[in-house]
Amino acid sequence: MLYSELAETFDRLESTSSRLEMTDILAAFLKTADRSELRSIVYLSQGKLHPDFVPGVLGMADRLVLRAIAFTSGTPEDKVEKMWVETGDPGNVAESLISRKKQMTLFSEDLTVERVVKGLTAIQDADGKDSQERKMKTLANMLHDSGPLEARYLCRTVTGRMRVGAADMTILDALAIAFSTKEDRPAIERAFNITCDIGLVAETIATGGMDAIRAIDVSVGSPVKVMLAERLPSVAQIVERMGGRCAIEYKYDGIRVQAHIGKDGVRLFSRRLEDLTSNFPDIAEELRRTCRYGEAIIEGECVAIDPDTGNMLPFQNVTHRRKKHGMDEAVKEVPVRIFMFDCLYRDGEDMTSSPYLDRRAALETGFEIGGAVQMTTMRIVESEEEGEDFFSSAVASRCEGIMAKSIESDSVYRAGNRGFLWIKYKKDYQQALTDSFDLAVVGAFYGMGKRAGRYGALLMAAYDQETCRFETVCKLGTGFDDAFLDGMPALLDGTLSETKPADVDAEMVPDVWFEPAVVLEVVAAEITLSPIHTAARDVIKDGAGLGIRFPRFTGRVRDDKSPEQCTTVGEIVDMYGMQAHDSDGLSE
């Protein structure tokens, strides 16, 4: 297939904000695409070459791309740079300059999807001496045979700016329409949730239909989307909701890790599918040593331990392990333990459909527990009092709170889903009216007074899973210390956007916009109806959205969460409901 056909589809996708329309455009296109290219096409529509868990990202510096544009179009570099300063997007610059270039036919070669994939792979893998020059030339070579639209998307892809609205959920909808029926949508989503590979799902359904989709199993090496917990405001409500009897575990304050223990070694994934193996080499080794299965996938929380007292340390201490350098020292200085809480797979047996107690038993029998490999502390409780008592001991042990887990026969591992089979309850719930929020930064306001010359406040958004859009909930200006204020440009400026990003809904207009990428943890006093914020607009009341009052940054950058994993608008609506319930209780 010619890349121009793909670029035209991207252009059509970008020109609509209706998710239904996007789904139809994608479905029609995927249906006609060559099956052997489907996988690449799906990855390219998300600006990638492979699923997120495969190492390697495309990230060419803007200036290098500008040089390639100048080189191909014969435009002086200073003029190209000026255009870039004006538009902020190398894609737009390429589009307008390439459209003016003379078409050369003698040395042209068709720009096919296959050629683009090869070229982009070479750019991603270029390493060592002259790598910048080689990247530049490879891109220039592709631009040489591009029309304006292809040039726009090539430059956006190499600089990590591809956002045409082909979110995972939209692609899954499109696959159901193109190759099956809407009724099969949940089975298609399950295949995605247990493989985290949208390209694989697309290729499987197109070539083998629904039988092949249903035959996809959890497998070592492909991360499984993590199961998430709902929240309730009191232990009493949790025990009642669980039917009067449930398991409760300590909720540890660390980093969630999904360990894939295979014949060829151990790989650790974060909840946003980053490979964390090099951050926790000691944990990987201990899991391998203590595992009695040939193969297994388990989950646990990695927690830093004070080497002098043996006490658990807060989350910040384990983040040292995320830094690339000095790992040997970090392993010695900050010992880490993994507290295992789930088993998703063991020796050919997909355990995601087994009940909670069986999965936990698989951990207890499958590992030699001790040292750095521990089980989460758990108790089966049958009353509010027992639950409260357990919560107090969790807090006394420096945990964040508790995780209640259903022990019913249907207590399966629901990959990629948030539901009431797991319910979290944190100590913050007792202080503030609401839980903490993990929100995406979508804009910034320049500071005044002591903050002049820096960003003074940020525009924060929650994620709407239904529409795949980011909707604002607050302007955040408190909780920033000097170090954070100074570090903000380094943290955020890589995601600067000249205009409001296509997937952001906002009425408040900041001084600068950011593509949603950075997630911050925020606490607040209350969720209120808001005339200006766009989250859950018209859901509770016509013309009003939901905003959060007195937001304060906790100091925690959630770099373990992707923007799509931040607090959802649905959760905020539920929290608003819980809050109303709470104050009803108070006024009784």
Q: Which residues are catalytic?
A: 251
Distance (Å, rounded) from C-alpha 367 to C-alpha 288? 9
**Helix (H) or strand (E) segment spanning residue 187:** helix 185-195
Task: Check: CB of residue 512 under 8 Å from CB of residue 528.
Answer: no
67 alpha carbon, distance to own chain's centre = 32
Task: Check: CB of residue 504 under 8 Å from CB of residue 467.
Answer: no
Task: Check: CB of residue 505 under 8 Å from CB of residue 470.
Answer: yes
**Helix (H) or strand (E) segment spanning residue 118:** helix 113-125
Residue 346 within binding range of ligand AMP, rule CB under 6 A: no
What's the closest the beta carbon of residue 375 comes to ligand AMP, in angstroms?
10
What's the closest the beta carbon of residue 403 comes to ligand AMP, in angstroms?
4
What's the closest the beta carbon of residue 256 comes to ligand AMP, in angstroms?
3
Beta strand 455-464 pairing with 437-446: antiparallel
Report the site for ligand AMP in 293-312 (rule: CB under 6 A): 301
Distance between terminal CA atoms of the chain? 68
| For ligand AMP, the closer CB: 171 or 399 | 399
| For ligand AMP, the closer CB: 229 or 491 | 229
**Which of 476, 545, 547, 468 shows the shortest CA–CA distance to 510?**
476
- Work out which of 84, 252, 315, 513 binds ligand AMP, going by CB under 6 A: 252
Helix (H, G, I), strand (E, B) or coil at 109: coil
| For ligand AMP, the closer CB: 359 or 424 | 424
What's the closest the beta carbon of residue 271 comes to ligand AMP, in angstroms?
6
| For ligand AMP, the closer CB: 179 or 250 | 250
For the four alpha carbons of 219, 220, 221 and 224, in that order, the dihedral sign comes to positive
Query: 3-state DSSP helix/strand/coil percent for the chain, to nearest 5?
Result: 45, 25, 35
Taking CB under 6 A as the binding criterion, the range among 15-23, 113-121, 248-256, 517-525 that sits at the site for ligand AMP is 248-256
- Contact pattern from residue 219 through residue 238 relative to ligand AMP, giving x for each residue in contact according to CB under 6 A and a dash for the rest: ----------x---------
Residue 403 within binding range of ligand AMP, rule CB under 6 A: yes
Residue 537 within binding range of ligand AMP, rule CB under 6 A: no
Taking CB under 6 A as the binding criterion, the range among 197-205, 250-258, 259-267, 359-367 that sits at the site for ligand AMP is 250-258
Angle between helices 131-144 and 62-73 in degrees, nearest 10: 50
- Record the tokens describing residue 357, joined without a space: 């107690």
Taking CB under 6 A as the binding criterion, the range among 21-29, 132-140, 245-253, 534-542 that sits at the site for ligand AMP is 245-253
Distance (Å, rounded) from C-alpha 48 to C-alpha 44? 5
Residue 272 within binding range of ligand AMP, rule CB under 6 A: no
- Work out which of 251, 272, 337, 360 binds ligand AMP, going by CB under 6 A: 251
| For ligand AMP, the closer CB: 151 or 519 | 519
- Work out which of 424, 533, 537, 556 binds ligand AMP, going by CB under 6 A: 424
Residue 249 within binding range of ligand AMP, rule CB under 6 A: yes
- Work out which of 352, 376, 406, 411 binds ligand AMP, going by CB under 6 A: 376
What's the closest the beta carbon of residue 376 comes to ligand AMP, in angstroms?
4
List, in sequence order, every residue forming a beta bridge with 426; answer none if it has no partner.
401
| For ligand AMP, the closer CB: 176 or 404 | 404
**Which of 350, 553, 312 shows the shortest CA–CA distance to 456?**
553
DSSP 476: E
